Structure 1
Amino acid sequence: MVETECPVYIQIVGLLKNISKICHLTMVGIFEGYNVKIFS
């Protein structure tokens, strides 16, 4: 039971890490664009 659930759990964790990484990059990109608009 653990052996079959483990790969799925690893995939979900990997997916969540990728999603949080993409969200972080998106937020950074938005803030950088926002700062450029204000200061330019």
Structure 2
Amino acid sequence: MSLAKDMYFCIKWVLILYSGRIYFTVFIALLSGKELNRCE
């Protein structure tokens, strides 16, 4: 039971970090896109 809880906890954090990285990448892409549009 405890092992399953630990695995769920680890998977949950991996998903949070992974989705967070995707959002961060999109955020940076949008920011750099705005910067490029401003320069043109």
Global fold match (TM > 0.5) = yes
CA RMSD of aligned residues (A): 0.7
What residue ranges of structure 2 are gaps of 5+ in the alignment?
none
Q: What is the one-letter code of the residue matched to 1:9?
A: F
Match of 1:25? 25
What residue ranges of structure 1 are gaps of 5+ in the alignment?
none
In structure 2, how many angstroms separate the alpha carbons of the residues matched to 1:23 and 1:4?
Answer: 28
Residue 32 of structure 1: how far off its partner (Å):
0.4
- Tell me the secondary structure at the aligned position of residue 6 of structure 1: helix
In structure 1, how many angstroms separate the alpha carbons of the residues matched to 2:4 and 2:21?
Answer: 27
Runs of 4 or more consecutive aligned structure 1 residues displaced over 6 Å after TM superposition: none
Number of residue pairs matched?
A: 40
Normalised by the length of structure 2, the TM-score is: 0.90
